[in-house]
Amino acid sequence: TLDPEAMFKVGFLDDVHKERPVKPVVTRFPPEPNGFLHIGHAKAITVNFGFAKYHGGITYLRYDDTNPEAEEEKYFVAIEQMVRWLGFSPYKITYSSDNFDKLYELAEKLIGLEKAYVCHCNDEEIKKQRGGESHGPRFRCAHAEQSVDTNLAEFRGMRDGKYKPREAFLRMKQDIEDGNPQMWDLAAYRVLEKPHHRTHSKWRIYPTYDFTHCLCDSFENITHSLCTTEFVQSRVSYEWLNKTLGVYEPMQREYGRLSITGTVLSKRKIMKLVNDKHVRGWDDPRLYTLSAIKRRGVPPGAILEFISELGVTTAPSVIQLARFDQSIRRYLERTVPRLMLVLDPIPVVIDGAEELEVDVPFSPKVPAMGSHEVRFTTTVYIDRSDFREVDSKEYFRLAPNKTVGLLQVPHPIKAVSFSKDEATGKVTEVRAVFDKETKKPKTYIQWVPSGSREVQVRIHNSLFKSEKPDDAEGGFLRDLSPESEIIYPRAMIESGFDEVKARAPWPEAAGESELGKGGVESIRFQAMRVAYFTVDPDSTDEKVVLNRIVSLKEDAGK
Ligand code: ATP
Ligand code: MG
Ligand code: MG
């Protein structure tokens, strides 16, 4: 069986802990509140929260809100919800902007240490100073020679509105001889004339990521600051700033990002899909935002298991959608009850039969789930795909003169005749009898009794045709698959559904507790011979809407 904590016991994360085996471990998950979280962020959440939890420590959820141009209130709420849904509880929720006063003071201190100066150079001049296109010699501008007093006055001028955006910025005085561009006098503060959602119009200057992140980590006594490998070069400047200011020094280490092929994760692209109504919203089950994955019915435990299975190293993980599906399937197989659902029902009248109650176990694999009664009526509904007008040798379901088993019903049935709608050519009814001679039919099919509840079923397939929608000719919108959502408007589900709903989520299944709050998506079941399903929030009292979570087998298609 799979151990979701395996990822912390060996390899990269174990090494990181051995390097600094302190107690308690303190980590942070630092999203920028400028978009919804996606599957990649689930890795960051699991790594940061999971690592601390494994070592008996704590984790901050810190909104890295230093860029008022891109941040919005709705993202704060959605981000916290997803962290909690994944089963993690922040020790505290903090904001980089809580520290604006403290950061400002430290910027003045840095100036006092002759380690920062106010610069008025433009992009082109800065590029030249950094060696330009030809990687020539690097040099500093005259601003770097200003006195502490001038820099202080200029910095306060920036703060007090003397400069427009881009007219001035505070630069750290690092080490331009260092081969690492992160040491080439990075920006620490810039002028931005946008009100901030929390500090409103108090500030006209905002600290950069390079100035803010390491200091906020230090303020919160973060022991291990875990981030993705695009920050490897930033480690030097991260360490430089804390050391120069003489504050507590957290340890930054970098792991590989998680990316998924066959879909798009960029905010701009998902926004386009939403705005052009190619999907039902940011939480459309065909997307890979965390809210979409939740709506699709994927259990949070399956996501954690998936990430744990991939493991954490410094290399990026590039994963196909099918691999993610495989993890989900394996998780659901042992944790959810089974029911009978018919996507495209046709009635089968069983002549001479009598009604009876049949006992249907919720799971043949997990007897502890118990069972429920389904009424066998003399007319039952089976799936259109389980009947053929013309029999053939290698076909083992229902056809004229052919016998098939009905799941849990004592006797198999044999079709006798059928009727068709002349206009559509579709079979409208099958007549059958019990076949008491055949003891063991080759196949058993699912069925539902007459009077069963009608539901709408949405089958989701990949939104895109190719593995690399981003590379598609004419752009990712040209790669949209016409079959990404197939709707069965009048599917039928047996009455056991009510008990599955009432008992959801089903924690007894594998001795695991269900994580997060129980929304409709925590109602999950396997529709035997069809797929795994959950309830969609579009459901009303009159009509239940079901989403396919994942097919029963890889490549099961529709
Ligand atoms: P995106 O551009 O996809 O929104 P981001 O890096 O801007 O990603 P942040 O809000 O800054 O997103 O992310 C918060 C944390 O999540 C950061 O520590 C970041 O490194 C991590 N993270 C983001 N995307 C991934 C990913 N695909 N795999 C692992 N960690 C990720
Ligand atoms: Mg982001
Ligand atoms: Mg970012």
**Closest-lying ligand 1 atom to the alpha carbon of residue 226:** 18
Cβ-based neighbours of 153, under 8 Å, separated by 6 or more: none
How do 58-63 and 26-29 pair as beta strands? parallel
| CA 367 centroid distance within chain | 31
Predicted ipTM? 0.96
* pLDDT at residue number 74: 87
Distance 485 CA to ligand 2 centre (A): 28
What's the CA gap between 138 and 296, in Å, rounded? 53
Between 427 and 364, whose confidence is greater? 427
Pocket test for ligand 1, best of 7, 41, 95 (most atoms within 8 A of CB): 41
What's the CA gap between 4 and 8, in Å, rounded? 9
Residue nearest to atom 23 of ligand 1 (CA): 41
| CA 312 centroid distance within chain | 17
* DSSP per-residue letters across 7-57: HHHSSHHHHHHHHS--SS-EEEE---SSS--BHHHHHHHHHHHHHHHHTT-
What's the CA gap between 291 and 300, in Å, rounded? 11
**Closest-lying ligand 1 atom to the alpha carbon of residue 45:** 16
Q: Two tokens at 554?
A: 């890889």
Query: Under a CB-based contact definition with an 8 Å cutoff, are residues 229 and 316 in contact?
Result: yes
* pLDDT at residue number 334: 85
Which residue, 513, 520, 507, is CA-closest to 549? 520
How do 427-434 and 524-527 pair as beta strands? unpaired
Residue nearest to atom 15 of ligand 1 (CA): 31
Closest ligand to the CA of 268 = 1
What's the CA gap between 190 and 192, in Å, rounded? 6
Mean per-residue pLDDT, 423-441: 96
* DSSP per-residue letters across 430-473: EEEEE-SS-SS-S-EE--EETTPEEEEEEEE--SBSSS-GGGST
* pLDDT at residue number 263: 96
| For the chain, domain boundaries | 6-99+214-262+297-326, 114-204, 335-551
Quick one: DSSP state of residue 142? G
What's the CA gap between 490 and 78, in Å, rounded? 33
Per-residue pLDDT of 447-473, as tens digits, reads 999 999 999 999 999 999 999 999 988
**Closest-lying ligand 1 atom to the alpha carbon of residue 39:** 27
CATH T-level fold of 335-551: Ribosomal Protein L25; Chain P (2.40.240)
Which residue, 232, 244, 120, is CA-closest to 173? 244
Per-residue pLDDT of 243-300, as tens digits, reads 999 999 999 999 999 999 999 999 999 999 999 999 999 999 999 999 999 999 999 9
* pLDDT at residue number 515: 62
**Closest-lying ligand 1 atom to the alpha carbon of residue 230:** 20
What's the CA gap between 263 and 211, in Å, rounded? 34
CATH T-level fold of 114-204: Glutamyl-tRNA Synthetase; domain 3 (3.90.800)
Mean per-residue pLDDT, 319-331: 95
* pLDDT at residue number 514: 63
Q: Under DSSP, is residue 196 helix (H, G, I), strand (E, B) or coil?
A: strand
Q: Under DSSP, is residue 520 helix (H, G, I), strand (E, B) or coil?
A: helix
Q: Which helix (H) or strand (E) holds 358?
A: strand 356-361
What value does the mean pLDDT of the chain take?
95
Cβ-based neighbours of 325, under 8 Å, separated by 6 or more: 550, 551, 554
CB atoms < 10 A from the CB of 202, how many? 11
Distance 266 CA to ligand 2 centre (A): 9
Cα-Cα-Cα-Cα torsion 120, 122, 124, 125, nearest 10 degrees, comes to -10
CATH T-level fold of 6-99+214-262+297-326: Rossmann fold (3.40.50)
Query: Under a CB-based contact definition with an 8 Å cutoff, are residues 532 and 329 in contact?
Result: yes
Residue nearest to atom 18 of ligand 1 (CA): 227
Closest ligand to the CA of 29 = 1
Q: Kindly report the backbone phi and psi dihedral angles of residue 7, in degrees, each rounded to the nearest multiple of 5, phi listed first.
A: -65, -15
What's the CA gap between 522 and 297, in Å, rounded? 7
Residue 558 has pLDDT above 50, yes or no: no
Residue nearest to atom 9 of ligand 1 (CA): 31
Cβ-based neighbours of 451, under 8 Å, separated by 6 or more: 377
Distance 40 CA to ligand 1 centre (A): 7
What's the CA gap between 24 and 13, in Å, rounded? 16
Query: Under a CB-based contact definition with an 8 Å cutoff, are residues 385 and 373 in contact?
Result: no
Quick one: DSSP state of residue 203? -
Distance 199 CA to ligand 1 centre (A): 24
Per-residue pLDDT of 490-526, as tens digits, reads 999 999 999 999 998 887 665 666 665 578 999 999 9
Which residues does a 6 A CB cutoff place in the pocket of ligand 1? 30-32, 35, 40-41, 43-44, 227-228, 257-259, 265
Annotated catalytic residues are: 32, 257, 267
Per-residue pLDDT of 223-232, as tens digits, reads 999 999 999 9
Residue 239 has pLDDT above 70, yes or no: yes
Q: Two tokens at 470?
A: 């981003």
Edge-to-edge strands of the sheet including 26-29?
26-29, 58-63, 92-95
Between 481 and 514, whose confidence is greater? 481
Closest ligand to the CA of 44 = 1
What's the CA gap between 547 and 459, in Å, rounded? 6
Which residue, 291, 414, 360, 315, is CA-closest to 41? 291
* pLDDT at residue number 442: 94
Per-residue pLDDT of 88-146, as tens digits, reads 999 999 999 999 999 999 999 999 999 999 999 999 999 999 999 998 999 999 999 99
> Residue type for 462, please?
S
Per-residue pLDDT of 38-85, as tens digits, reads 999 999 999 999 999 999 999 999 999 999 888 888 899 999 999 999
Distance 68 CA to ligand 2 centre (A): 14
Residue nearest to atom 30 of ligand 1 (CA): 44
Task: Report percent pLDDT > 70 for the chain.
Answer: 97
Residue 470, by phi and psi: left (phi above 0), alpha (psi -120 to 50) or beta?
alpha
Residue nearest to atom 27 of ligand 1 (CA): 40
Distance 31 CA to ligand 2 centre (A): 6
Cα-Cα-Cα-Cα torsion 291, 297, 301, 307, nearest 10 degrees, comes to -60
